[in-house]
Amino acid sequence: MEYGCLIGGEWLEGDREIVVENPYDGSEVGRVLAPEVDVEALLKDAREGQRRWRERPTYEVREALAEAAHLLKKHEDELAELIALEGGKPIRDARYEVYRTREVLRLSAAEAERLYGETLPGDAQRGRTAELILTVREPVGVVLSITPYNFPLLLPTHKLGPALAARCSVVHKPATVTPLSSLRLAEILLDAGVEPLALQVVVGPGAELGEELARADFDALSFTGSRSVGEHLREISPIPRITLELGGNDPVIVDETADVEAAAEAAVRGACYHAGQVCIAVERAIVVEDVYEEFLEAAVEVAESLKVGDPLDEDTDVGPLIDDGAVEKVRRHVEDAVERGAEILTGGEPEGRLFPPTVLADVPEDALVAREETFGPVLPVIRAKDFEEAIRIANSTDYGLHAAVFTERLDRAVKATRKLEAGGVIVNESTIYRADYMPFGGVKASGVGREGVPQAVREFTEEKTVVIGRR
Ligand code: NAD
């Protein structure tokens, strides 16, 4: 597989060779021959592309996005295999990613014809005598999209679909290790009828190309990735509207009334999905004293039942981590927890890039694994005296993406939804629960702004107020 970049409506090749490797066995999946990028020229084309795209009738925009969803279905097997090969995601989960991506395009198509405003009375205040006040929604302009490696098809589409539905144009920079899904997606969007100048895809190292783009004169930046890069972009970027979807350290609280087996199953599966490389993966279980031992026993059983191996095998549950650096980080977090008194109940030792599902007991609150994002298949279990203490521990990190609570008590479920500092609180399901139409995003160090197709469309539009005078 060989790609150039999509620039100015054309596929251009250049001298910078980016080899994409399968994280499972290091074999080559494909390469990108990236040309030098002239950011001013990109922006000029993007402005012209936005003008043209905006002139298209609504039904054409809707039909192009719906057609892209249809084409994704047609190429489902090929796309799932590509996600599994370049990202190491188990094939069943890769297929589900393709399905969700289709859904994002379907929802974006629907939003394209729902860019409604409001009507207000013109004369509801003394001295104000207009006939009518209206609001209309207008596109913000040119959007810069920067995405991470872990959902190489879905996360780019969460930006491209809503931005195009809002009649913006987009310059997209995918993660350098998993660019092929984005490039294939761009081909599909153009085949479906999207204005070629309204979508450009460039590939290159984040610290160079990403940084150069983020310093340029875009109208909006939509970034998904790590906390450190997100915070850096907030400092250096002049772009006036910035959405940041960053990392998390998502807790699952289990109280003494909970269905402990169901909670343990959800916590372990939520910690190990895509080898833990998910922003809303379960990063901590906080379990009250009374059911602590029972939870550990059930968690170990689930962890040991998961199959680790080749992402292309239909029965693989846990594939490889993305690179050696990721393995080192997870290993360091586990070692640090052990040094601080935690016990490894199962797992702990990687084989190459395969890290086995790992359950850690008696993890102290100050362990790295309990404070920072581990992004690996590790479930640290923290003991809490009671429900109140569990809530305090859950809120004790810098992050605030999702938080979950397992309880049979309605008052506690309600209390948790009010007290937990998170963008989303999930009751009796794992933190990893996300439907693509629901508002999604973080508080505290987990980011600003909301995604979810309708919410992202809102972020990419500006409300304009129109006053119709009385004559
Ligand atoms: P990353 O921050 O290393 O990279 C993300 C993107 O930013 C890549 O395209 C990269 O090339 C680019 N980049 C890197 N340095 C840059 C710079 N200086 N300027 C501009 N762009 C730059 O993240 P990653 O390792 O690819 O992904 C994992 C992280 O993403 C985790 O922290 C995870 O929690 C987070 N994430 C968050 C969400 C969410 O919705 N909140 C979803 C998925 C992943």
Complex ipTM: 0.97
> Do the domain assignments include residue 167?
yes
Are 13 and 119 within one domain?
Answer: yes
Q: Other C-beta atoms within 10 Å of 196: how many? A: 17
Q: Is 159 in the pocket of ligand 1 (CB under 6 A)?
A: no
Confidence of residue 471 (pLDDT cuts 50, 70, 90): confident
- Please write the tens of the pLDDT for every residue from 235-272: 999 999 999 999 999 999 999 999 999 999 999 999 99
Q: Which pLDDT belongs to residue 368? A: 98
Q: Is 210 in the pocket of ligand 1 (CB under 6 A)?
A: yes
φ and ψ of 244, to 5 deg: -120, 120
What is the 226 CA–ligand 1 centroid distance (Å)? 4
DSSP string, 54-90: HHS-HHHHHHHHHHHHHHHHHTHHHHHHHHHHHH---
Are 166 and 215 within one domain?
Answer: yes
> Do the domain assignments include residue 109?
yes
- Please write the tens of the pLDDT for every residue from 322-365: 999 999 999 999 999 999 999 999 999 999 999 999 999 999 99
Per the annotation, the verdict on 131 as an active-site residue is: no
- Domain of 138 in residue numbering reads as 2-247+446-468
Q: Is 214 in the pocket of ligand 1 (CB under 6 A)?
A: yes
Are 238 and 295 within one domain?
Answer: no
Please give the Cα distance from 117 to 135 (Å, whole number).
5
Instruction: Domain count for the chain, please give it.
Output: 2
Catalytic residue among 245, 372, 373, 451: 245
Name the residue with tokens 């601080």.
340
Tell me whether residue 127 is exposed, middle or buried, using C-beta atoms within 10 angstroms of its C-beta: 0 to 12, 13 to 18, 19 or more: exposed
> Do the domain assignments include residue 222?
yes
Judged against a pLDDT cut of 90, whether residue 50 lies above it is answered with yes
- Please write the tens of the pLDDT for every residue from 269-299: 999 999 999 999 999 999 999 999 999 999 9
Judged against a pLDDT cut of 90, whether residue 230 lies above it is answered with yes
Please check whether residue 221 is in contact with residue 146, taking contact to mean a CB–CB distance below 8 angstroms: yes
CATH code: domain of residue 340: 3.40.309.10
Confidence of residue 123 (pLDDT cuts 50, 70, 90): very high
What is the 230 CA–ligand 1 centroid distance (Å)? 7
Are 310 and 210 within one domain?
Answer: no
Are 421 and 451 within one domain?
Answer: no
Q: Which pLDDT belongs to residue 459? A: 97
What is the 406 CA–ligand 1 centroid distance (Å)? 30
> Do the domain assignments include residue 313?
yes
Query: Apex CA 76: angle with CA 70 and CA 79, to 5°?
Result: 120
Q: DSSP letter for 248, please.
A: -
The atom of ligand 1 lying closest to the CA of 227 is 32
Are 92 and 176 within one domain?
Answer: yes
* Amino acid in the structure at residue 465: T
pTM: 0.98
Long-range contacts of 334-339 (CB under 8 A, 24+ apart): 334/358, 334/360, 334/369, 334/378, 336/367, 336/368, 336/369, 337/363, 337/364, 337/367, 337/368, 337/369, 337/370, 337/380
Best residue for ligand 1 mutational test, from 155, 279, 329, 450 (most atoms within 8 Å of Cβ):
279
- Please write the tens of the pLDDT for every residue from 442-467: 999 999 999 999 999 999 999 999 99
Q: Cα dihedral angle (429, 431, 432, 437), rounded to 10 degrees?
A: 80
Are 15 and 100 within one domain?
Answer: yes
Are 188 and 279 within one domain?
Answer: no
> Do the domain assignments include residue 369?
yes
Are 268 and 335 within one domain?
Answer: yes
Q: Which pLDDT belongs to residue 287? A: 99
Mean pLDDT along residues 409-430: 98
- Please write the tens of the pLDDT for every residue from 139-184: 999 999 999 999 999 999 999 999 999 999 999 999 999 999 999 9
Q: Is 232 in the pocket of ligand 1 (CB under 6 A)?
A: yes
Mean pLDDT along residues 85-93: 98
Are 221 and 265 within one domain?
Answer: no
Percentage of the chain beyond pLDDT 90 is 100
Mean pLDDT along residues 464-471: 96
Please give the Cα distance from 83 to 274 (Å, whole number).
11
Are 51 and 110 within one domain?
Answer: yes
B/e letters for 297-332, b = 16+ CB within 10 Å, e = fewer, are: ebbbebbeebebebbbeeebbbbbbbeeebbebbbe
Please check whether residue 319 is in contact with residue 24, taking contact to mean a CB–CB distance below 8 angstroms: yes
CATH code: domain of residue 57: 3.40.605.10
Give the contacts of 407 (CB within 8 A, at least 6 positions apart).
Answer: 253, 254, 255, 257, 258, 387, 413, 416, 427, 428
The atom of ligand 1 lying closest to the CA of 229 is 2
